[in-house]
Structures are given as structure tokens and as C-alpha cells.
Structure 1
Amino acid sequence: MALEAVGSSLVSDGQQNTATLHQPANPVQKVNLLGMSRAELEKFFEDLGEKKFRAGQVMKWIHQYFVTDFAEMTNISGKLRDKLVQICEIKAPEVVHRNYSKDGTRKWVFRVGEGKGSLVETVLIPAEDKTGSRKTLCISSQVGCALDCSFCSTGKQGFQRDLTPAEIIGQLWMANFSYMEDVPVAERERSVTNVVMMGMGEPLLNYDAVLSSMRIMLDDFAYGMSKRRVTLSTSGVVPKIDQLAQDIDVALAISLHAPNDELRNELVPINKKYPLEQLITACQRYIAKDGNESARKHVTIEYVMLDGVNDQPEHAQQLLKLLKNLPSKINLIPFNPFPHAPYGRSSRNRIIAFQKTLSDAGFVCTIRQTRGDDIDAACGQLVGQVADRTRRAAQWQKKIAEKNEIIRSKG
């Protein structure tokens, strides 16, 4: 009997398969330094027998000069660099697609995990404001999403897994690096000015990895971002909002989208577990943790405008009543339809009238400008090229088709 694949346990003529004996040992899994906080890096270097100040040096090379080759870290001894090459790596998620819009918006599709892995998307939106040029990066925290909000395309692919800190901060690393691939190392500087944890997934359901990533964003040895320019957006995981208040000071945004429990139960199903009264009270507690230089001056309320669903005058009045005791800014978001979406976008006139009602009552209320439509980068379109690994999308499309058939038959 002939021997076949290497590693087979088959024997021939009573002899042991020598191929098995001579298989190479599995390569050592290198430690990815990209997603490690300063505290984690300090412990890592101390465990290597090095001084912990090496952590700050390496963080600067990674996150301020966007260097992935240890040989370029010139203020570190050659001996330590050689050691790091053997046991470490600096590895961002693989870019499998990138597209730059004519309006300046940029989108990346990243592969995460081993083999074919999974795909997540990240969007950068440039703008001008009173402080000058602003580049806001919308970062994903999960592959897919478990919350299944009825108007969100991402939720229709179901939940696959959480992202690691390296996969989260790697999105910010790559966005910055995209502006300086051809810039000499000594001249590189951070380009992204704002981060919103508002991409695929519910950030508070991947709490530890998101918290670690935001700490790297705020660290002066890394991105040194202002806490007012790092925003976490949640659909309303109330206990985690309270935990966030204890652990870090960043801006908070709420994906509200409805001014009453009955409608929000339909649009944002997590409302059935944490209804509006609990959510608003949690937001008030979050602001109460304020400090002199805190980002917690107000909560941003995100409200997607769905034609005939949540955009009527009575909805505006209900929203005023709901938010009367919560310092907040309101961001009205024109809905971006996607295939089989059961909703349409509110008319421009309806959105403006809704805004006027809120503004006249004293709220700061803005209408989000739709950006990146030509590259499927607008809010609600992040499903993009992501492969659906669950049955949710198929079941949802079947439900919409059946609903449309009933409407046609009645017509």
C-alpha cells in the first residue's frame, strides 16, 4: 500500500511513516502589538526583561509614524529589535477592497480572521467646520450585528463574531496610513481627526475590545485624540452605558430613531429589553459623571428619517417631550434605501419641517449630509460586500417579498 498525504498515520510493510516524523514544527504564533494598550505593552516588555518605557517608544512608531518594520525603529537597540522580529508583528487587517468617492469619502473592506475569514467595512468622511478640515472615521466593532434593527442593512446579515482590539484599532491605523503611504516616516502625522464607533455592530456588546481600542485612541503615545472627538454610538445597552461612564470619558451617541416605545420596539428591538425611560435615565447618569474638561456635556441623538413612519409632526412633539430633561444635540439622518428595504426616505421638505420644530424648541438639530453614495458608504449601507453567513437575510427578503405579494393581491 502506497503512502499518501504528509501527516498520514498509515504504515507500509510494518514501517512507521517517516513523513510524519519529519514534519516541520508549527511556526510560533507571533504577538500582534497593534492592538495592545500602553499598560499591556509595558507588561509585555517587562516580561521580556526590558524597561517599560519601551512601550511608549514602540507605540509612537506604530501609531504616530505608522511603521510596521522593527528595523526602522531607530531609537531601540539592535538586540531588542532582533528579538521583536522573532516573536512579534505589527499587523493591520487585510484590505481586500478600497474605494475613494468623488466627494472625498473613503471606504475600506477588511478581511478579519484566518483563511477566507470575514469582511467588515470602514468609512472615512471629510468635512469642513469652524475648526478647519475634519476627517471622521466610522469604525466597525463586530462582524455583522445581533440587534436586527429593521431599517439597518448591516443587521440583516446577522451576527458572526466580535472584532479584536487589533482589528478595531487597525481600521484607524489604515485610514491614517492611506494619506501617507508615500510620505517619509519622519514627516508623517495623524490625518483622522474624529472617530465614531458607529460602523458595523453594537460597540457595547464587544465592550472590552472597544474600551481597549478607545484608550489607544486617547493615549498621547498613540493617536492623542481629544475625548470630545471620540464618540461611541449605542442602540441602548443600558447596563453597559453605566459601565462606560465609570471606565472612560468619551462622547456618547444614542441610535434613537423613535420617540415612543411602541414604534421603537419595531425599529430597534433591544428597546423591548431596555425601554426609553431606562435609556434616557442612563443617559442622564452618563452626563452626571461630568468633569471640568469632560466630553459628556450632552448626548447626541441619532434619528433616521423614515417616510411616513417616524417623521410626522406628532413624532416631533413626542421627541421634544422625551428629551426635555436631557442635554442633547439631534442629528436627523436621511434614510439610505438598500435592496428589499421596507422603508423609504422622508422627503426633504418633511425633514426640514421636523428640524424646524426641534430647533424652534431650543434644540441644536442638524441634518446629516449624505456622503459616499457612489461607493455605498453612506449610513445604513455598510453591509456592502460583506458575505451573509446566516439565514437572517434570506428570511428577511422572503418576508418582504410575501408582504409585497399581499399588497399586490389586495390592489
Structure 2
Amino acid sequence: MQPQTPITQDVMTIKRILPEDGLTNIVGLTRDQLRDALIGVGVTEKQAKMRVNQVWQWLYHWGVREFDVMTNLSKDFRATLAEHFKIELPEVVTKDVSTDGTRKYLVRIAGGHEVEVVYIPEKDRGTLCISSQVGCTLTCSFCHTGTQKLVRNLTAGEIIGQVMLARDDLNEWPEPGQGTGDNGPRLLSNIVLMGMGEPLYNFENVRDAMKIAMDGEGIALSRRRITLSTSGVVPEIHRTANEIGCMLAISFHGTTDEIRDKLVPINKKWNLEKLLEALAAYPKVSNSERITFEYVMLKDVNDSDEDARRLVKLIEGIPAKINLIPFNEWPGAPYKRSDSDRIKAFADIIYNAGYASPIRRPRGEDIMAACGQLKSATERARKSRKQIDADAGL
């Protein structure tokens, strides 16, 4: 299956999400889009900025779901809003909670499609792993999501909606008198775009959703608390720094083109040389904002001492940390997790070369919520192991 272009993806998305009730969902509209929408229903240009600020704070700071609750707006204006707009989030179908506290949400979006969202609580923070597409077009051979074909891009509203529904479940919207940003409740302190899909194949919607998440008068997460993970869509990497400004992670996994072509097929389009050139030129890369290289540890595939030394050589000159990920197995997976001793030896080589090399502790494996295991429940139930192997080309 050939990747859809951004234009054809957007057309596909629009066709699937036209509202049947004629109401415009304001969740996911940028400030400019919301301003234009309000002017379109009679708000004067002079008043539009104030109205945008008021609605924005109710929606993204206080987390309200009804226009009637917006008490600093006149009754007539609230009626106008209700006549033309709606506040609608993706629907939580199921929630699974792991023995380690990880929460996995199966979320239904327009058209009846499903994506998965994972909240990972830690001692000093809580990370939400969100999805950007239904399925994926990249077919990375170690990734369960890659066995589910791409259906469509998520809208900006469906992306930021994942953040909002998780805050609902965590009950962390501020109470009156509480501040925003890091001064407010922060069970959900970080966002990682590491769920279903390739974020840079849905750039505009991801950008708009993350701008909403970073807006200081709403959810107010700093850009350094948001990490976008890409498999290497080289033309969009520079754009990510300029238009989003978040932290960058690379789904790397191989130290030769031969191995990476098999593990991450997008490497056939943009090989290691092209990818590393783009990363070296990444505008925000510095010792304080290092690029994270994600490296899944696959037994007897990419976990040798030679691989570790090649990895160190490849990233030379790029401020980086290496995030080593023990492979999270799934039904029909063609790989096995590297042994613990092998992972530690690999990490030691990287550490001795001067790079941070944390080994990620698997989280949520008992509910299939770990890295690389996400897949909509309907797709998982629909396919036998034989079918999964066939889709993976095994």
C-alpha cells in the first residue's frame, strides 16, 4: 500500500467526518479558526478576540462540555453558540488498567473507527501516549500497529480530544482558584506522539492539536513536555522544529540500511544518510534539547556489540540520548526480546561512549498497552495469527 499524500489524506478525512447534525465541533479549532467561526455567526471583529479567549478558557482550562456552563457569556450568545456549534470528544469504549497502573483507552472516533490511547503514571510525572492515525502506513515489521492498514488521519479535534478525555478520567481539570500550567493539577504532565500512526504523515492536524495543548490559557503544557516520534519522514523534520517546536524522537532501530530497510521500511525512501543529515541540521537540537533515538532490542537482529558501536559512530556530533526498548511481544510477532544481559552490554557500550542509554521498563504489557503493541480491539479480534503473519509478509 502506497502512502497517501497529505492532500488525499485530508480529502479522505473530510469525507468521513462531515457532521450529520450540521453543527461545527469547536474542539480542535485553532484560535484563528475559532475566531473566523464566531465571526461567521455574527460576532463582530472587534469582539471576536475577547470571545475566543473566553470560550478557549472554558474549553481547555476548565474542561467544560456545555455552553450553558460558560457563565461569563450572555445567555443570548450562549444560545447562539449552541445553535451553531458543539463540544464533542472521541468516545471511550473501554478502559483497561494494568497491574502497574497504566491505563489503556479504546477510543471510538467519527465513522466508527477506533484508536488506542495509553496513560503511563510515574513517580514524578504522567505520560499520555496518543495516536495520530487510524492504523498505519509504515508496516514496521516489529510493530503490532503496523499490521493494521491505514484507514485515515485523525483530525486535530480527535487528537487533542484524546488529551481531554484522559484528563476527564484522571479528574485533573482545575477547580476554581487553581492555576494553569505547572501550577495546576498535573497527573498528565507529558504527551508523546508514539501511539498509532506516523505523526509526520498527518502534520497539519498534529501541529494544530499540539499548539492547542501548549497554549498558555488552556491545557498549557510546555513544548519540552511534548515529544513527537517519527520513523523518519525527512522532509517534515525541519518543519517540526519551526512549526511545532516540541522535542523530537526517532524510531531508529537499525544501524545499517540493510537491517533498517527490514525493520522500518520507510528507510528505503529516506535512508540512514539522509535521515542523519536532517537530524544534524534540526534547528532545536542542543545539549539541553537532545534528540531521542528509540532503539527496540530484537534478539539476534540488532543487538550485537557491533551494532552498539555502529550506533555510536552514526550519531556522532548529534546531541542525543538512546532509549533502549526491550521488544514487547504480541501474537504472531516475528521477533523475540533480547536477553537482559545482552541489553545491558549494549547499553554499557553506548554509555561509555558518552551517551545516556536508559533501558525503558516495559509498562502495561498485561493489557497490550506497551510500546509497539497498540492496535484497535476490533482489528485485533478480527485477525487470526495466520492473517497477522500474512499481513506482516512472513
- TM-score after normalising by structure 2: 0.87
Match status 1:381 vs 2:378: no
Alignment match of 2:106 (pick from 94, 109, 112)? 109
Match of 1:165 in 2: 156
CA distance in 1, matches of 2:272, 2:223: 26
Match of 1:8 in 2: none
1:337-381 per-position Cα deviation (integer Å, ceiling 9, x unaligned): 111111000011111110000001100110011111222111111
Match of 1:79 in 2: 76
Q: Aligned with 1:366: secondary structure?
A: coil
- Partner amino acid, structure 2, of 1:219: D
CA distance in 1, matches of 2:350, 2:20: 60
Match of 1:263 in 2: 259
Match status 1:98 vs 2:95: yes
Q: Aligned with 2:120: secondary structure?
A: strand
Structure 1 367/386 Cα, relative in aligned 2: closer, same or farther at 3 Å? farther
CA distance in 1, matches of 2:79, 2:360: 50
Match of 1:119 in 2: 114
Partners of 1:197 and 1:203 within 8 A in 2: yes
CA distance in 1, matches of 2:284, 2:174: 42
CA distance in 1, matches of 2:271, 2:246: 23
Which moved further from structure 2: 246-255 or 134-143? 246-255
Match of 1:20 in 2: none
Alignment match of 1:344 (pick from 333, 336, 348)? 336
Q: Alignment RMSD, CA only?
A: 2.5
CA shift at 1:126, angstroms?
1.1
Match status 1:144 vs 2:103: no
CA shift at 1:46, angstroms?
2.7
CA distance in 2, matches of 1:54, 1:393: 53
- TM-score after normalising by structure 1: 0.84
CA distance in 2, matches of 1:295, 1:78: 52
Match of 2:11 in 1: none
Unpaired segments ≥5 residues, structure 2: 1-18, 179-183
Q: Aligned with 1:362: secondary structure?
A: coil
- Partner amino acid, structure 1, of 2:71: T
Structure 1 311/181 Cα, relative in aligned 2: closer, same or farther at 3 Å? closer
Match of 1:243 in 2: 239
1:152-195 per-position Cα deviation (integer Å, ceiling 9, x unaligned): 00010111111011110000001111121898666684531100
CA distance in 2, matches of 1:296, 1:246: 17
Which moved further from structure 2: 49-58 or 328-337? 49-58
Partners of 1:371 and 1:377 within 8 A in 2: yes
CA distance in 2, matches of 1:278, 1:165: 29
Partners of 2:61 and 2:173 within 8 A in 1: no
Structure 1 263/348 Cα, relative in aligned 2: closer, same or farther at 3 Å? same
CA shift at 1:395, angstroms?
5.2
Structure 1 310/215 Cα, relative in aligned 2: closer, same or farther at 3 Å? same
CA distance in 1, matches of 2:384, 2:206: 25
Structure 1 296/386 Cα, relative in aligned 2: closer, same or farther at 3 Å? farther
Match of 2:201 in 1: 205
Alignment match of 1:223 (pick from 214, 219, 222)? 219
Unpaired segments ≥5 residues, structure 1: 1-25, 404-411
Match of 2:7 in 1: none
Identical aligned pairs, as a percentage? 45
Match of 2:53 in 1: 56
Partners of 2:89 and 2:165 within 8 A in 1: yes
Which moved further from structure 2: 368-377 or 327-336? 368-377
The 5 A counterparts of 1:319-358 are: 319-358=311-350
CA distance in 1, matches of 2:378, 2:317: 40
Partners of 1:65 and 1:189 within 8 A in 2: no
Match of 2:3 in 1: none
Partners of 2:102 and 2:363 within 8 A in 1: yes
- Kindly tell me the number of residue pairs found equivalent between the two proteins: 367
Q: Write out the 4+ residue segments of structure 1 that deviate beyond 4 Å after TM superposition.
A: 181-190, 388-396
Match of 1:41 in 2: 34
Structure 1 107/361 Cα, relative in aligned 2: closer, same or farther at 3 Å? same
Q: Aligned with 1:329: secondary structure?
A: strand
Partners of 1:148 and 1:156 within 8 A in 2: yes
Partners of 2:61 and 2:174 within 8 A in 1: no
- Partner amino acid, structure 1, of 2:119: L
CA shift at 1:47, angstroms?
2.7
Alignment match of 1:282 (pick from 278, 282, 306)? 278
